[in-house]
Copies of this chain bind each other. A is one copy, B any other.
Amino acid sequence: MQNKVRIVLVNTSHPGNIGGAARAMKNMGLADLYLVAPKHFPSDEAISRASGASDLLDNAVVVDTLEEAIADCQLVIGTSARERHIPWPLVDPRQAADLVFDEGLETAFVFGREDRGLTNEELQRCHYHVHIPSVDTFSSLNLAAAVQVIVYELRMKSLLMKDEPVVASKWDLPAATAEQIDFLLEHLETVLVKTEFLEPKTPGKVMTRFRRLFQRSQLDQQELGMLRGMLTAMEKQMKE
């Protein structure tokens, strides 16, 4: 699915941004980079900023016009920083990722010039405009940063569609059981009473708070063993 999405950079001035965009794409599993009339390309600075994603630069398709870059695309989404004269269907980056995956169409995301974005004519070639929701008073993102946001949302969507957690803590030990927690709390209470930290006749909420703590922290077996061992060691040190 992800292979059906291309990134199109129009008239990029700074080759470092091309490299940064390539790195962001490869990080997020995208490969197809189209460059429309880049100012400086190929470029050592692009390779340097790509930092291991120079295969995307080697395979980049360099063309003269936006029309060529999007000719075979079924869905074209252009990044837009500001309101245009003629309103256009506008989505945020998350909605844009939804469009791509829900429709399953050959898609291009089009990014404009560092200083001026896309022209009105270029924007009118897009089915949708996507706006990254920056603050009004400082709204212009770095080009590679804007690419990063879009490809990140595409990656998140592709992972979320698998209906699995995007990241999962792989705990290496099984969690303590409820019964083990009960035994731990009983042991703890015994020790606390022996140390006179806890007055059996007026215990207050101390044990409830300990229960809440150990349940919330989802103790694993090893941690449970450590706590039990600590209590046993404390008991041994106490005066009769």
Contact = CB atoms under 8 A, between A and B. Distances in A.
Nearest to A149: B152
A59 to B, nearest CB: 14
A20 B142 contact: yes
Nearest to A168: B90
A89 B52 CA distance: 30
Which of A152, A170, A171 gathers the greatest number of chain B CB atoms within 10 Å?
A152
A10 to B, nearest CB: 20
A78 to B, nearest CB: 14
Which of A29, A87, A155, A169 gathers the greatest number of chain B CB atoms within 10 Å?
A169
Copy number in the complex reads 2
B140 A27 contact: yes
B90 A142 contact: no
Nearest to A134: B27
A226 to B, nearest CB: 13
B27 A138 contact: yes
Interface string A131-171: 11111001111101100110010011001000001111111
A166 B135 CA distance: 11
Contacts of A149: 148-149, 152
Contact of A87 (B24, B145, B170): B170
A138 B140 CA distance: 28
A19 to B, nearest CB: 10
A26 interface: yes
A53 interface: yes
28 contacts: A20-B142, A24-B141, A24-B142, A24-B145, A26-B135, A27-B134, A27-B139, A52-B140, A53-B138, A87-B171, A87-B172, A90-B167, A90-B168, A90-B169, A91-B167, A92-B165, A94-B156, A94-B166, A95-B166, A131-B167, A133-B155, A134-B155, A141-B148, A142-B144, A142-B148, A145-B145, A149-B149, A152-B152
